Structure 1
């Protein structure tokens, strides 16, 4: 059910007219109609009063509005806007980033108090649901509008914290959601915005003294350099993340995920021994018991180890070891994006062996997924395959595959 329809139903259940809401909030009746029609959302300063009128908490109102945003037509969603609209959207997003950075730098006692406490559990629940949806959806870009709408809500709440405890929890919630926003932009290959998101996630997590969350924000930030094959930049950030993880919860898998990403960094630098040691450290996750991750900013449970080993060995040129690990990974219940990564690595192995059949078997479904989902991560894997195709372009089908990747890359740059 769309959030706008929920606002309509809630108002009707309370016996209020659109004019009643408009008069109380000092807006036009047509403005209330646009909220209920899902065409736009109430300004942040109006939301506390609107929540009181509807006799719900601000977090419940935020959940309604977030669902409304996610059901907007494509033409109204800022994530799909183009040209001048995209420039305005980016400027607005950077404004939110700047405001959030300033609020995170303020101590809690310098902030205004609220008369009524916000239901922080509601915001936490929405964050969790957004991560779940992100994990399950193949077209990650469709999540952008609803996540960034919720970021605006949390940023506004940061300026109204009742005191140190509530402020600290809001910082943790903001750090959580900034990581999700970064993941969405990373998937779209918008690495600059993703880096901004991860930097703010780290700052918010620091303010919350949430060491595991802070370590994960740094790890995600470092992963941008890993993807761009700038391993020298990734290494010190991962070292810092490892240090933070040691100060975190020893029952969580944070330190083992950091080790897995460090292994990729060492592989990229051609350091087999260091890569193997990092992979062995990452195996320590298998000795943990209980809930070792939260399904949101931390999702590492050891199920990715075969993929990690395969990727590292492929990078190091140990093709037999890589193929064995990646074939094992395919036997697991992988998400579409993870499966695409494994298939891309197997296609690279086929290309390095000059085996066109192996390339085509593994790369064709990846290309189809990239076309369907518009995932920048999947497209990036295909671009990584292209240099290995060059010696095989005399093969007609390989040439067609290469042309398909060119078309995909060209269309993504024009979006």
Structure 2
């Protein structure tokens, strides 16, 4: 199925009179990138999709249809699952599925604990490694929703767990370069979060979608949905993702306001427990996001100290993330006219990214290396030579 889908992409390119070289040049990417899209090895990234759609004379929705594979898996049952779940919530306190076992608070607690453990795989593994794990877990929970018996309160908790798992699958798909799948998982997570009645989870589903497309409107909606009753770390996460969308669009003042709100939230004390899905949100995370935002805004004097300090406290065992964040530091250093140090940072990022099951470090590094190639000097030449090797 994947091969047929890619043939459709190649056929559309040819039908509008574009060669692989021509399309790559028009989009500002390497020809090898177009080759990988058409070979089914990666998906076009979110940032390039609007222009790709224009070059192929398609709407973005038509492009999604062109890229969509029929071989999908667990989400083929999602709509039916949620239709049934909505009925569960509206019916009597206990609904029994045919031949189903009854589940309650104990099973929900175990599911949450298992989901929390699986979530932490993302600390050290890439989406290529975790995607099938997460989608398999989704499928198991979907079967439970369909076949088990539970009360309406358990139904809400169960669909909340499913929403978290769909978010994890969407993130893993995004990290693996499977952008059609990531969008589909995020939409599933949004439906599930709405069904669960959890505003924070609902807001986080929107924030995932906003982050992938740098969509200010969706990011702002995520903060509104979650509201001020959300716990501090949830508000910090949603505000930093709002800041990112502002930064990508070049809005300096709005970015600073959102970052300030994130800093205030993450340092706020609270007696309420945080959801597990924000376990990783802390002041270090906000500093890294601030550095990335100021790099996007072309403010190296702000970005470099933030990223230098944050990365000095970031363990190399988080190799994918540290490699990614180092690429923003390298860009900021070049913006500040320090290509020698940028070359050193890039070399370390190459080491960290080696063997990581994620397309994102490689994609970021290609942009860094292309920019470094404009500079001279032995440090830069050595890194470029190593990259070619």
Matches of 2:295 and 2:289, distance apart in 1: 10
Asked whether 1:271 is paired with 2:251, we answer yes
Question: Unaligned regions of 5+ residues in structure 1, if any?
Answer: 1-80, 227-233, 405-415
* Cα distance change of structure 1 residues 306 and 151 upon mapping to structure 2, 3 Å threshold: same
**Aligned with 1:363 (options 339, 346, 362):** 346
Moved more, 202-211 or 92-101: 92-101
Give the counterpart of 1:339 among 290, 302, 322. 322
Give aligned pairs, total.
312
Q: Relative to structure 1, is the Cα distance of residues 241 and 96 closer, same or farther in structure 2, using a 3 angstrom cutoff? A: same
Alignment of 1:64-213 (within 5 A): 90-109=71-90, 113-114=96-97, 116-118=101-103, 119-135=107-123, 137-160=124-147, 161-213=149-201
Change (3 A) 1:258 1:139: closer
Q: Could you say which structure has the greater relative contact order, defined with CA pairs below 8 angstroms and 6 or more residues apart?
A: 2
1:243 to 193, 199, 224: 224
2:357 and 2:337 mapped to 1: Cα distance? Answer: 28
**Partners of 1:384 and 1:364 in 2: CA distance:** 14
Q: Is 1:256 equivalent to 2:236 in the alignment? A: yes
Q: Does the CA-based 8 Å contact 1:393-1:399 persist in structure 2? A: no
Shift of 1:218: 0.9
RMSD of the alignment, in Å? 2.9
Residue 392 (1) aligns with residue 379 (2):
no
TM-score by length of 2: 0.71
- Identify which of 290, 308, 329 aligns with 2:310: 329
TM-score (norm 1): 0.67
Structure 2 runs not aligned, ≥5 long: 1-39, 42-67
* Cα deviation 1:192-239 (Å, max 9, x = unaligned): 21111111111111111111111111111111113xxxxxxx111111
1:308 corresponds in structure 2 to 289
Cα offset, 1:323, TM superposition: 0.7
Q: Name the CA shift for 1:143/1:347 in 2 (closer, same or farther; >3 Å).
A: same
In the alignment, which of 365, 373, 377 is matched to residue 360 of structure 2?
377
Compute the displacement of 1:151 (Å): 0.9
